[in-house]
Amino acid sequence: MTARTMDDHALTLTGVLTRAERLHGRREIVARAPDGEVHRTTYAAVLGRSRRLANALTGLGVAGGDRVATLLWNQPEHLECQFAVTGMGGVIHPLDPRFDAEELAFIVEQAGDKVLVVDETLLGRAAPLLGRVEHVVVVGHVSDGGDGPAATIAYEELVAGAEPIEWPQLSERQPAALAYTSGTTGRPKGVVHSHRALVLHSLTAALPDALGISAGDGVLPIVPMFHANAWGLPFACAMAGAALVLPGMRLDAVSLLDLLDVERVTMTAGAPEVGRALLAAVDAEPRRWDLSALRRMVIGGASVPAALVDGLDRHGVEVLQAWGMTELAPLGTACHLPHDLADAPDAQRTAFRVRQGRPLPLVEIRAHDESGAEIAWDDCAVGELQVRGPWVASGYEGGDVHEHHTADGWFRTGDVVAIDEHGCIRLCDRSRDLIRTGGEWISSVDLETTLMAHPAVAEAAVIAAPDERWGERPLAVVVCAGGAETDADTLRAHLGREFAAWQVPDRVTFLDAIPRSANGKSNKAALRQLMMIGAPT
């Protein structure tokens, strides 16, 4: 007799959507429009409209597996597109408007997007894409000829003119979303996320020791939906029934802080740059905003300096650092203090919290040295971080399957890390940004973090400059904090207190701004060009 086990029920997002509409229908979705007005709607209304939109998209010829691209902000229509396209069995493909025209055209061409849904404020960015998709749907005002693209359809008319469908039965393995890496280390690469991956990712993200999202939360994702699906927050919030507060296109610190205050937001999420801007604004006017409801800001995408952790702590906001990659849908780790460090002195706790975190349930991590041998967790040695789990990509769009995998099936992240005895990763660098000098290497991230701890420094980036004798030497590029002045010798002396003399950059150059990639990371390729240095070998 064969033993009977559980029902082999498919893990599809339609289950999340149906439950959110029925159970959390009255939970609010609050959104700021481009004119600054705040509009209020609900999960029931957004999901009802999503089911209409799904029907309308079918009418436009979108079938199972077809890709629908979006050029939208964090706005209700973007949620509707995410819900409609995944729910109907299509593949949602948010495009990052910060990519240049050539990159956008390459991505849409490679993805084979059938329909583009674009906000009227982003129509300019859509220009190179208009001939590449079958239909263009515009949220907002559709120009009636003349300057406007020919075959555009008004989003509102499309939704209003269709009856709501019931979600079809889908397979958990089928693709649901397509996201491109931001191209920090080369041409953007496309990653397809399956229903199963996104369901498990949402479930795990909501856990208390992951991001911690419950029905009582109000969540403001500053990280855009066009960047790694806003770190999975829309689906995780829909699953948990958390209210969503969407900032639209107004991403300046004052507009964000106004929303965080008035809407009594409990959790927000964004890049370190955004965290720094929020902190500078509340430091400048500590009494202007009431942030007593805000308990946590999730920060990731780039390393989080201690000054940011301590600074937001001073205003009662806990920083939770997370590490992830587009290839992981995107969350891999979250940095909660282990239980045995709960009573440790403040300095030790902060030192832990600037690490990238411990793996989320279902994600496995390991570090390998250059010979391919695994490094023990409590060994302080650094190596390449490798991961595996149910939301780790198995290959890239248009690329060889497994091209970035080890022979035993682990994904090679290209991040260089040490893993401590708690299983917490400390990211030293991306492998191509390490500075190899005289047979040793220097972490550009460590130098940048220490430079940014100097009060006169707002931003810092360290790159490798070719050197005849040593192979490479570090070159620091610094942006001074507003009103502050410093010089290369002062900063070199500051670094000399923490680094050996051979690790301290020979040159420190001052710039007004550091070039950034689409998602705000320092763009070291552009910086090398600016400094007239070729690509590292």
Residues that bind ligand ADP (CB under 6 A): 181-185, 228, 300-303, 321, 323-326, 356, 413, 415, 427, 430, 519, 521
Work out how close the CB of 523 gets to ligand ADP at its nearest, in angstroms, rounded to a whole number.
Answer: 10
The closest of 321, 261, 305 to 285, measured between CA atoms, is 261
- Is the CB of 81 or the CB of 335 nearer to ligand ADP? 335
- Of 116 and 271, the one with the shorter C-beta distance to ligand ADP is 271
Find the largest Cα–Cα distance for the chain: 80
Q: Which is nearer to ligand ADP, 135 or 388 (CB)?
A: 388
Comparing CB distances to ligand ADP, the nearer of 52 and 358 is: 358
> Would you give the DSSP letter of residue 433?
G
The number of residues in the chain equals 537
Q: What are phi and psi of 121, to 5 degrees?
A: -75, -10
Q: Which is nearer to ligand ADP, 321 or 386 (CB)?
A: 321
What is the closest distance, in whole angstroms, from the C-beta atom of residue 311 to ligand ADP in the complex? 17
Nearer to ligand ADP by C-beta: 324 or 389?
324
Is 60 buried (19+), middle (13-18) or exposed (0-12) by CB count in 10 A? middle
Q: Which residue is nearest to ligand ADP (CB)?
A: 184
470 burial (CB, 10 Å; 0-12 / 13-18 / 19+) is middle
Minimum CB–partner distance for residue 36 and ligand ADP (Å): 29
Q: Decide the pairing of beta strands 67-71 and 115-119.
A: parallel
DSSP summary character for residue 405: B
For the bound state, the minimum distance from the C-beta of residue 51 to ligand ADP, rounded and expressed in Å, comes to 31
> What's the closest the beta carbon of residue 167 comes to ligand ADP, in angstroms?
29
d(CA 464, CA 471): 9
**Rounded to the nearest whole angstrom, what is the least distance from the CB of residue 226 to ligand ADP in the complex?**
11
Nearer to ligand ADP, 58 or 517 (CB): 517
| CB of residue 182 to ligand ADP, shortest distance in Å | 4
Query: Read out DSSP for 42-80?
Result: EHHHHHHHHHHHHHHHHHTT--TT-EEEEE--BSHHHHH
**Cα–Cα distance between 64 and 85 in angstroms, integer?**
9
Beta strand spans in 142-204 (E): 152-154, 175-180, 190-194
Residue 424 CB, nearest distance to ligand ADP (Å)? Answer: 12
CA atoms within 13 A on the CB side of 385: 30
Closest CB 148 distance from ligand ADP, rounded Å: 33
Nearer to ligand ADP, 114 or 227 (CB): 227
Q: How far is the CB of 330 from ligand ADP (least distance, A)?
A: 6
Q: 388-392: long-range contacts at Cβ-Cβ below 8 A with a sequence spacing of 24 or more?
A: 388/363, 388/364, 389/328, 389/362, 389/363, 389/364, 390/196, 390/197, 390/200, 390/362, 391/193, 391/197, 391/198, 391/200, 391/201, 391/328, 391/329, 391/362, 391/363, 392/327, 392/328, 392/363
Q: Which is nearer to ligand ADP, 174 or 181 (CB)?
A: 181
| Residue 332 to residue 362: CA distance in whole angstroms | 9
The residue among 73 and 323 lying less far from ligand ADP, judged by its C-beta, is 323
Provide the minimum distance between the beta carbon of 335 and ligand ADP in the complex, in angstroms, as a whole number: 8
CB of 213: closest distance to ligand ADP in angstroms? 19
What percent of the residues of the chain are helix, what percent strand, and what percent coil, each to the nearest 5? Answer: 30, 25, 40
Using the minimum distance from each CB to ligand ADP, give the nearer residue, 338 or 414. 414
- Separation between Cα atoms, residue 85 and residue 55, nearest integer Å: 10
In the numeric block, which tokens belong to residue 377? 């967790």
Residue of 407, 259, 230, 452 lying closest to 324 (CA atoms): 230
**C-alpha span between 220 and 269 (Å, rounded):** 7
Token pair recorded at residue 444: 């550009």
Q: How far apart are CA 282 and CA 315, in angstroms?
A: 8
Residue placing its CB nearer to ligand ADP in the complex, 234 or 324: 324
CB of 326 to ligand ADP, least distance (A): 4
Is 57 exposed, middle or buried, given 0-12, 13-18 or 19+ CB atoms closer than 10 A? buried
| Cis, peptide link before residue 34, omega less than 30° from 0 | no
Nearer to ligand ADP, 204 or 303 (CB): 303
